[in-house]
Amino acid sequence: MKFSDFSEYLEKLEATSSRLLLIEILSELLKKTPATEIEKIVYLIQGRIAPFFAPIEIGMAEKSVAASIAIAYGGSKEDATRLFNKLGDMGKVAFELAAGSKGSEITVSEVFEILTQIAGTSGAGTVEKRQNLLSSLLSKLDPISAKHLVRVPLGNTRLGIGDPTILDALATAKLGDKSNRKLLEGAYNRTSDLGLIAKTLWDKGLPGVERLEVRVGSPIRSELCERLPNAEKVIEKMSFDSPSTGSGQGAQDKVGVDVQLKYDGFRVQIHKEGQNVRMFSRNLEEMTHMFPELIKATLSQVKADTAILDTEALAYNPQSEEFLPFQETTKRRRKHGIEEAALKLPLKAFVFDILYKDGKQLLDEPLTKRMKILDGVIKEDDVLIRTKNQTVKDPKTLSLLLEDAISKGLEGLVVKRLESPYEAGGRNFNWVKLKRHSDGELSDTIDCVILGYISGRGKRTAFGAGALLVGVYDKTKDEFVSISRIGTGLTDEEWREIHKRADKIKLDHKPARVNSLIAPSVWIEPEIVIEVLADEITRSPLHTAGASTSSASGEKTPGFALRFPRLVSFRDKDKKAEDATSVEEIKQLYETQYSRQK
């Protein structure tokens, strides 16, 4: 496919904010794509040249891209930078300066190849080499192609296309409709690689995709926890041998639940293949180089040639022999000063699951069996620690364990259904978190995505924000819906931080996939995830989270809103916007807050 034809589609996608239309345009593009280019096109739509988890970054600074544009189309780097300061988007700068440029017949594969060369450039003179490669590529492009190309090395495609939308489009393009989309999603949960799925679908059809297994080196999408309000509800709902019998009746088929301590660190998925170890975060980013002590421990403590382990890593103070709080632990996620940090804040990792061992995928094995396999895999030592677990059948024991965990300074418990498989990417009642809750507050925090900011009055005007408009994620529609405005509880420092980050991603129009009745003073790309604590979830016609209109009666159900919301922390280090709390979860929290009060 010619890169200019591909860019015409990107142009149409950029101008679309309706999700249905996005799927339609995308699937039209994919239908025209040959098997030899499908993988590349899927990565480029994501603004990448490899899957998200691959540590391949083209990573060029704005001034470098500005220099490339200047070399390609004439003019000075300063002029390009000035134009960028005015337009706020390097794509538009390239478009303007490329005016009149005819472009060429260059194909997507050829452009992809050059982008791969740019990413692979290293050593002395890297900046110049990259600039030259990019500028000679730009000189072969028409204005629209140039506009979309320069956004790739800057890591911002401005297309607003989420992974679920790409899955929808792949299904529509190749299978005719979305009826088998679940099978694509299953493969995505096991491999996290949309390019691979597309290529397999094009080459081997749906059966090929179904056969795609977990691969050591590709992160598996994490299984997540549901919430229940108390120990009684947990036993009632989870302590049965199959979900279908979990109606709460008949004590005879109660098998109990698996109870584990809930450590408050960060999730690390460890992949071992011979002497090679890689690690991935909750949002599937590669973190291997950040944790040398975990690599060492994996090599010495894991008794398997190949293995994938699900763990929670915590920083530890060797002097006081105490685990450090979450905020301290997150300081270990850094790119520089790794060795010093490893000495100052060494990590331990609690291993709570095993998903692969010596050539065999274990996702479909029941939890009890996986835990047994884990016993034989982790050699006892003090860096990797197999998480303790026990079977509990009655709510009283469960409550005591929860109190005990909290008194030890832990967050609470994770309760798991004994016979459940590992449901990659799933959040259901196979795993439930039980946390402490103080009266008058929700029992859990909510992860919101910042959608924009509303200009403030008085002293806050200096930072350009008086309140944030935040939303949650509607999984079924793959869109972000508003749930609250947050104005209080942010320090001046936090405002500055938000402003600094938001300025880089602000838009002059509502982003695609955002559904909000409130228009903030400035929209931003839905990227920044913050953890929010609120007193209560209420209903409000101002917000779109969970709002609906009955097609039969026309009756309107107002959206959900947060009462007294306040910022707890930034979560974007380990959460993508799509990992924010979902509308489904909000609905459940809304319902459980009443069942707790009963």
Which residues of this chain interact with ligand ATP, rule CB under 6 A?
222, 224-225, 260, 262-263, 267, 282, 312, 352, 387, 414, 433
Nearest CB to ligand ATP, comparing residues 170 and 432: 432
Please, are residues 53 and 281 in contact by the beta-carbon 8 Å criterion?
no
Nearest CB to ligand ATP, comparing residues 14 and 353: 353
Nearest CB to ligand ATP, comparing residues 210 and 574: 574
**CB-neighbour burial class of residue 439 (10 A; exposed 0-12, middle 13-18, buried 19+):** exposed
Q: Rounded to the nearest whole angstrom, what is the least distance from the CB of residue 266 to ligand ATP in the complex?
A: 6
Query: Token digits for 397?
Result: 């024991």
Name the amino acid, one letter, at 54.
Answer: A
Q: Rounded to the nearest whole angstrom, what is the least distance from the CB of residue 581 to ligand ATP in the complex?
A: 7
250: Cβ–Cβ under 8 A, 6 or more apart, which residues?
Answer: none
Where does residue 331 fall: left (phi above 0), alpha (psi -120 to 50 degrees), or beta otherwise? alpha
Nearest CB to ligand ATP, comparing residues 118 and 414: 414
Q: Rounded to the nearest whole angstrom, what is the least distance from the CB of residue 206 to ligand ATP in the complex?
A: 30
Q: Rounded to the nearest whole angstrom, what is the least distance from the CB of residue 373 to ligand ATP in the complex?
A: 16
Nearest CB to ligand ATP, comparing residues 225 and 374: 225
Q: In angstroms, what CA-CA distances link 164 with 423, 520, 525, 573?
A: 17, 26, 17, 21
Report the alpha-carbon angle 162-86-577, nearest 5: 20
Q: Rounded to the nearest whole angstrom, what is the least distance from the CB of residue 545 to ligand ATP in the complex?
A: 17
Cα(312)–Cα(290) distance, integer angstroms: 15
Cα-only R_g, the chain: 25
Nearest CB to ligand ATP, comparing residues 349 and 522: 349
Question: 367-394 burial, b if ≥16 CB within 10 A, otherwise e?
Answer: beebbebbeebbeeeebbbbbebeebee
Name the amino acid, one letter, at 253.
Answer: D
Would residue 348 show up in a list of annotated catalytic residues for this protein?
A: no
Please, are residues 269 and 222 in contact by the beta-carbon 8 Å criterion?
yes
Q: Rounded to the nearest whole angstrom, what is the least distance from the CB of residue 235 to ligand ATP in the complex?
A: 18
Nearest CB to ligand ATP, comparing residues 146 and 259: 259
Q: In angstroms, what CA-CA distances link 415 with 248, 258, 354, 399, 436?
A: 17, 6, 17, 12, 14
Q: Rounded to the nearest whole angstrom, what is the least distance from the CB of residue 27 to ligand ATP in the complex?
A: 30
Q: Could you give the 3-state DSSP secondary structure of residue 329?
A: helix
Q: Where are the beta strands (DSSP E) in 346-475?
A: 347-357, 360-361, 384-386, 389-392, 412-417, 427-435, 446-454, 467-474
- Which residues on neighbouring strands pair with residue 392, listed in sequence order? 257
Q: Rounded to the nearest whole angstrom, what is the least distance from the CB of residue 312 to ligand ATP in the complex?
A: 4
Q: What does 152-190 look like in DSSP terms, one character per residue?
A: TTTT-------HHHHHHHHHHHHHSSSTTHHHHHHHHHH
Nearest CB to ligand ATP, comparing residues 131 and 581: 581
Q: Rounded to the nearest whole angstrom, what is the least distance from the CB of residue 531 to ligand ATP in the complex?
A: 7
Q: Report which DSSP code applies to 459.
A: G
321: Cβ–Cβ under 8 A, 6 or more apart, which residues?
Answer: none
**Share in percent of the chain as helix, strand, coil (round to 5):** 40, 25, 35
What is the distance in angstroms between the CA of the first residue and the CA of the last residue of the chain?
Answer: 62
Give the torsion through C-alpha atoms of 479, 480, 483, 484, to 10 deg.
-160
Q: Rounded to the nearest whole angstrom, what is the least distance from the CB of residue 23 to ligand ATP in the complex?
A: 26
Nearest CB to ligand ATP, comparing residues 174 and 433: 433
Phi, psi angles (nearest 5°) of residue 56: -105, 110
Query: Token digits for 96?
Result: 């303007």
Nearest CB to ligand ATP, comparing residues 286 and 312: 312
* Candidates 262, 416, 433, 576; catalytic one: 262
Active site residues: 262
